[in-house]
Amino acid sequence: MEKLKRITKEKFDSLKKNEKELLLIYYKAYEKENGLIKSLTKSRKKIKKVKEKLNNIQTKKKEILEKIKSINKSLFTTSTIVCDKRWNSYICIFKNSDSQKSLYLGSHSSIVKALAPFYLKDEFEDSQEFLKKELKKIISTVQDKLIKHNDNNEITFKKNKLKNIVELYAESGRWDYWSIED
């Protein structure tokens, strides 16, 4: 937008009423625009400082994470739930940097039956994705009580039955829903 120069009071007084109003509106808009530009500049400077702080924290976090990984690799055991569609069964795979172990959880119907006290039946009867998500949540909740690591950081199972996993989950008290069957 091109800046109009301020005019003298005599010239302003000689203008028609609608011209004066337009000129005043323009000057107010121009001042508002300058204020917003200054505010935007200040905000960009603040954002830049925050990004620098965030970058420093992320760098420190990465350095610390590398130290933690070298101290105890067992802290970083991941679990994945897999559905074998051929047999309609579920497997949990535990993996860390040194080993990988699979745990057979059971068929779809046996898992639905075992988890029935914690969910409404229609919630997960036909949904593999819902069941996988819930199994992942359950396994993550009880993972420390379910597996252990030997001296070579290999994964071994403390408990390897779905019944035991469900009991550990019930003891944890972290379920979202509890159904009572009559």
Q: Which of 44-53, 132-141, 146-155, 160-169 has the lowest mean pLDDT?
A: 146-155
Nearest-10 crossing angle of helices 108-115, 162-172: 30
Beta strand 89-95 pairing with 100-107: antiparallel
For the whole model, what pTM was predicted?
0.56
Average pLDDT over residues 22-49: 91
Check if the beta carbon of residue 156 is closer than 8 Å to that of residue 149. Answer: yes
pLDDT given at position 40 = 92
Residue 160's pLDDT band, with cuts at 50, 70 and 90, is: confident
pLDDT at residue 48 greater than cutoff 60? yes
Q: What pLDDT, on a 0 to 100 scale, did the predictor assign at position 169?
A: 86
Nearest to 112 by CA among 122, 129, 130, 125: 125
Residue spans per domain, the chain: 9-71, 73-172
> Is the pLDDT confidence value at 68 over 90?
no
| 74-132 pLDDT tens trace | 557 889 999 998 888 999 999 987 789 999 999 988 998 888 877 776 766 668 888 89
The two three-digit tokens of residue 86, written as one number: 């051929």
